[in-house]
Chain A
Amino acid sequence: MNNIRNFSIIAHIDHGKSTLADRMIQLCDLVSDREFKNQLLDNMEIERERGITIKSQTICLPYTAADGKTYSLNLVDTPGHVDFSYEVSRALSSCEGALLLIDAAQGVEAQTLANLYLAMENDLEIIPVINKIDLPSADPEGVALQVEDDLGLDIDHVQYCSAKTGQGVKEIFEAIVTLLPPPQGSPEAPLQALIFDANYDSFRGTLISVRIINGTVKAGNSIRFMSTGKEYRVEEVGLFKLRRESCKQLSAGQVGYILAGIKTVEDTRPGDTITTVENPAAKALPGFKEVQQVVFSSLYPISTDDYEDLATALEKLKLNDAALTFEKDSSAALGFGFRCGFLGLLHLEVIQERLEREFDISLILTVPSVQYHFFLSNGKEIIVDNPAHFPDPAHIEHIEEPFIKATILMPETYMGAVMTLCLERRGENTNFHYPTPGRIELTVELPLADVIYDFYDKLKSITQGYGSFDYALFDYRRADLVKLDILVNSEIVDALSQLVHRNNARARGLHACEMLKQEIPRQMFKIAIQAAIGGTIVARTTVSALRKDVTAKCYGGDISRKRKLLEKQKAGKKRMKTVGNVDIPQTAFLAVLKSEQ
């Protein structure tokens, strides 16, 4: 056990985490140069495309240290985006130490702090690593001072590297071996294995990622899930090398996987403890905080035939994405679907993309909403995140909306623009200080509803990528909300209804009307698009009637092409939703979600 080190790399998004992981894997000769590709641990297509990590990944690196001994270094790669910090905290619970990666040019960012706090909560030993020292704009010494002053970490432990060139990576290995503690626990004690992740394998059942805290587990053991009492027989245990590699047993201190032919999703809850039936542990490990969904939206399949497939797909995604919640929902316009809870808008986008790509289901999403607290005149309090459940306004005493406390770190030149953005989004109680000369840390209280749309994208763009952002829910405050309905040829399209602040309602309504006007193709009749609050129309646009198609000539050589064009047109029409007699394309529903420019 003294030869095991379990560690994570935590960092602000884009600070080079996946690149450092790639370099460490290469240095351990786990992968031939021929097999090597960038972002080795990011298996998902979306991860590679967007260059982000969504799912944690684990890999066991064999390393022979300067002391001549061979160590097993278990690296747990974690996501960097603010939406996925719950993944980070789960991954950290399987480690004794963490590399806190900081960009030598950008310095400490909002999420560097947030992730550091997460690591501290988990009592991890931290090694600060300053990356990208090869950049011309790198300021390793300055950043090292930030590490000491802002983060209170030991400057002597700071490692300098360039994950891109490989410079300094060897030294990081040595630091891991010498500075991070080996895992505690006893292989002889009753088994306590912490589930920190689960992935579905259609052949073998659920692949459970575990950290063995105490005891030993091997194939043939009967195991019990302590929260449900369900029992299974272990088929295989193993380590995460570049691929899964089975081994004889896993014992205290190790990170690995268990296969036990588990077909049901609910049985493998991350945070649960696995023990053996013969020699059960007295109590379960503490487990994880419940994740909190902040954004809610309904997903409807474009084709109603896909409803069952959507249900199955969500079950499967839920299996390795504990943060996703869903329940049945239905809409007059769109039929049956699911109301889903997400950690943020990126999470929502990722789920949408995975459903469309991995499961080939085309979707329509409703306008994302946060959870509002409605206090009714009969004294009851209800929570509403779905415009469909908006109570009768006559019965509403008052409404409260969630507020977040946001921390924004940026070079001071962007302060003015960022302040303007915060005020536009109804920011309150702004506060700032200078952690280092030239850099500002701004804290601001913002209504979550105004952040979920595109706050992060806007912030990135106005600070040219130098602004960083982290937030936590902290309060509920009074809000003057209304339900904004969209009508197409006088019929309410329920899936386009949204809960909005009264002051923003007109602008939102107009925006929705304009977007719909652009996206709804002209049809044989005039289409009136209206936005309404209660019975009052607040905005309207019109799509004029199509008077005539262009009918090009068509001779022998054109027949196939013409037919294929018409088939395409037919397929496109199939992908539309018909409300009343108006065909509305999927893009129109998506366009309404987009924010004002």
Chain B
Amino acid sequence: MLYIHIPFCEKKCGYCAFASVAGARELYRPYCTALLEELSRLPRRQLSTLFFGGGTPTSLPTDLLCELLDFIRQHFSFAEEAEVSMEANPGTVSFESLRRLRLAGVNRISFGVQSFDDDELRVLGRIHNAEEAREAVRMARDAGFDNLSLDLMYGLPDQDTQAFDFSLHCALELHPRHISLYQLTPEEGTPLFTALENGRLTLPGEEDIIAMDSLVNRVTAEAGFEHYETSNYALPGYRCRHNIRYWHNEEWFAAGAAAVSYVQGCRERREENPWHYIEKITAGEDAVVERESLDREASFRETVIMGLRMMEGVDLSELQCRFHLEPRQYYGGVLQKLMEQGLVERTPTHLKLSPAGHSFANIVMAELV
């Protein structure tokens, strides 16, 4: 359980509010050096999952990525069957690079495809078209990636249900093992947000979104996918073990600009700006800019709301074990009311959202947070 953040992209997408800078190639080498330094300070634990996120990790030269992977293998060692994930974008990979990453230990690859409609991709500011996305998936297959995931967005500007249906089917035709489906949420400060504000773009209405939701549920189920988390679907045996740790609110280590770790109840967020990150690490300091340690009850509540994102819900015996708390006793009337409203259900082992509860997840979570 180690997360590594690569804060670089070829180009910043119009909707993106993530920590990432475009075109800062001169930073690639110094950034990796700083990363190696930060990693070397971490305790030498065996890793069951490793996740490279971004940004676009594959915008780094493959040499550097392999160097990082080699170091990690030596410093930490991988558990048997360890899950080693990397996010990648079509347009930043070749058969050669994918082959080398696979050989260096990466066994799960997640492509940010977002759409199979070239016009939609252009509006989003993506650097690739639909055909390049297909090509990237084929190359990954050829390079030996079986565990392959695709990210798709819906509720895009001017998108109708039919257009989304098309993208979804294109995605499934590529036989991914895992799909993440996100409703586009405009973040303040992004070009997309501005375009929506001043009316140059419009998002589909609520009715369309609801239609897309039911489309997702039907089509993914037909293709044999299990809906296991709010936005995530997997074929049996292909759930993302690394991300499940987040939703179980379990601990993980992290390194890199903007990366967040959660170790011994303490959540630490690192400096977002890669220049500053490099400076601080090089100067022998840590790059943490924010620390948060919740007390037992707050941490319990956080674990409940994160756990409710999982379709199976949150494991009651797990909660008892970690916090010595029982949700029905703890929340009393608040939870009782949510259950009476049919938003929350209780099985012998779990507390979970009902299908209606998933539609109003924020309302439910705001009661339980």
Contacts and interface: CB of A to CB of B under 8 A. Distances in A.
Given A557-B258, A566-B305, A548 B360 contact: yes
Interface stretch (B21-29, B34-42, B67-75, B177-185): B177-185
A550 B362 CA distance: 8
Given A553-B231, A555-B243, A563 B369 contact: yes
Contacts of A547: 206, 210, 359
B361 A551 contact: yes
A551 B362 contact: yes
A549 interface: yes
B240 to A, nearest CB: 10
Interface string B229-245: 01100000000000101
Contacts of B180: 553
A417 B156 CA distance: 49
A569 B366 contact: yes
A549 B259 contact: no
B246 interface: yes
Given A553-B180, A556-B254, A548 B210 contact: yes
Nearest to B151: A553
Contact of A548 (B5, B185, B359): B359
Interface residues of A, number: 21
B209 A548 contact: yes
A567 to B, nearest CB: 5
A554 B260 CA distance: 13
B360 A570 contact: no
- Secondary structure dominating the interface of B: mixed
B246 A555 contact: yes
A550 B231 CA distance: 11
B8 interface: no
Interface string A175-207: 000000000000000000000000000000000
Nearest to B207: A547
Contact of A524 (B183, B246, B363): B363
A423 interface: no
A433 interface: no
Contacts of B365: 566
Given A524-B363, A548-B210, A551-B361, A559 B185 contact: no
Nearest to A572: B366
A563 B185 CA distance: 17
B254 A570 contact: no
A552 B259 contact: no
A529 B53 CA distance: 49
A419 interface: no
Given A546-B360, A559-B267, A563-B369, A552 B302 contact: no
Interface string B104-142: 000000000000000000000000000000000000000
A573 B369 CA distance: 13
A228 interface: no
B90 to A, nearest CB: 20
Interface string B321-363: 0000000000000000000010000000000000000111111
Nearest to B231: A553
Interface in A523-579: 524, 546-557, 559-560, 563, 566-567, 569-570, 573
B309 interface: yes
A396 B217 CA distance: 63
B363 A548 contact: no
B213 interface: yes
Nearest to B181: A553
B306 A559 contact: yes
A49 to B, nearest CB: 27
Contacts of B262: 556, 559
A578 to B, nearest CB: 12
Contacts of A557: 3, 5, 258-260, 269
B80 interface: no
B164 interface: no
From A524, A554, A570, residue with most partner B Cβ within 10 Å: A554
A555 B5 CA distance: 13
A548 B213 contact: yes
A560 B267 contact: yes
Interface in B1-48: 3, 5
Contacts of A569: 362, 366
A374 B77 CA distance: 88
Contacts of A566: 305, 362, 365-366, 369
B52 interface: no
Interface string B210-252: 1001000000000000000011000000000001011101001
Contacts of A551: 183, 230-231, 358, 361-362
B306 A554 contact: yes
B4 to A, nearest CB: 12
B332 to A, nearest CB: 16
A570 B369 contact: yes
A552 B267 contact: no
B285 interface: no
Nearest to B155: A550
Contacts of B260: 556-557, 559-560
A400 to B, nearest CB: 49
A566 B359 CA distance: 16
B292 interface: yes
B52 to A, nearest CB: 13
Given A553-B231, A554-B309, A560 B292 contact: yes
Contacts of B363: 524, 549
Contacts of B309: 554
Contacts of B188: none
Contacts of B53: 555
B369 A567 contact: yes
Contacts of A550: 183, 185, 362
B367 interface: yes
A554 to B, nearest CB: 6
From B182, B206, B269, residue with most partner A Cβ within 10 Å: B206
Nearest to A556: B246
Contact of A573 (B247, B292, B361, B366): B366
Contacts of B361: 549, 551
A552 B185 contact: yes
Nearest to B182: A553
Nearest to A566: B369
Contacts of B213: 548
Contacts of A553: 180, 182, 230-231
B302 A563 contact: yes
Nearest to B369: A566
A290 B11 CA distance: 73
Nearest to B153: A553
A553 B292 CA distance: 21
The 6 closest A-B pairs by CB, nearest first: A569-B366, A566-B369, A549-B362, A557-B260, A556-B246, A552-B185
17 contacts: A524-B360, A547-B210, A548-B213, A549-B360, A549-B362, A550-B183, A550-B185, A551-B183, A552-B183, A555-B243, A557-B258, A559-B267, A559-B302, A563-B305, A566-B305, A566-B362, A566-B366
Given A549-B362, A559-B246, A560-B269, 16 more contacts: A547-B210, A550-B362, A552-B182, A552-B185, A553-B230, A554-B230, A554-B306, A557-B3, A557-B258, A557-B260, A557-B269, A559-B249, A559-B260, A563-B302, A566-B305, A570-B369
